[in-house]
Structure 1
């Protein structure tokens, strides 16, 4: 069972590797990948002070994930998760809000989108 610890801001600290793994991406690269993914994109969490976003993928994905400019967070990691519709602020907030059951982005589609951005230079124009 995942650990969920509440914070004063209404966020929760949640374990990765159980319900989902997360892929950490530079914000600019993540936004470019989101544009390629379109409606296939699941929830995306933004951490403004660190200029990064997280995509949520199926548990177990992190163990085999290797894409330049990204970092996989799987079993043993944690993420600070804001309330479901929190979309702005200085702390973590949703770039794409999660639905009740559609947090996950297909890892193959995400990998292809990220690689397209890296190879095609889309990251620089985002």
Structure 2
């Protein structure tokens, strides 16, 4: 089944996840920290509404993703994709623009970077 691409008046496209890629939705601050940790290993990132970032990961990642405070988007989900030229809001825009080889972020590297960005989890026992 081909990806759904519904254009908006602002030139954004609603595109289905689970076709060419999955996406990981994270709170903005943790996502910015993860981007800094990843550095040049970071793929394309969309910022939407000033509150969340979307990282693009290999298709199939959503089915095995498990990290508190994040949401994996695979088949049955969609992401608003801004036009290539939109790098500022308001509205969805590229926080990290895609390139010929810069769309996908390695899922394991993203998981580790986000775990570092979130810091120790409250559910862990305190150190003695």
- The two structures have a TM-score, normalised by structure 2, of 0.89
Match of residue 43 from structure 1: 44
Match of residue 6 from structure 2: 5
Greater gyration radius: 2
Deviation at 1:88, TM superposition (A): 0.7
Match of residue 92 from structure 1: 92
Secondary structure, aligned partner of 2:66: coil
Distance 2:4 2:48 in 1: 21
Distance 2:120 2:31 in 1: 14
Match of residue 82 from structure 1: 82
Distance 1:42 1:69 in 2: 20
Question: 1:8-37 CA distances to partner (integer Å, 9 max, x unpaired)?
Answer: 111111000011100000000000000000
Match of residue 18 from structure 1: 19
- Structure 1: 4+ residue segments shifted above 3 A: none
- The two structures have a TM-score, normalised by structure 1, of 0.90
Match of residue 54 from structure 1: 54
The count of corresponding residues between Structure 1 and Structure 2 is 120
Deviation at 1:109, TM superposition (A): 0.2
Question: 1:50-106 CA distances to partner (integer Å, 9 max, x unpaired)?
Answer: x01000000110001001110001001111111012111211001001113421000
Distance 2:120 2:32 in 1: 14
Match of residue 68 from structure 1: 68
Match of residue 104 from structure 1: 104
Match of residue 27 from structure 1: 28
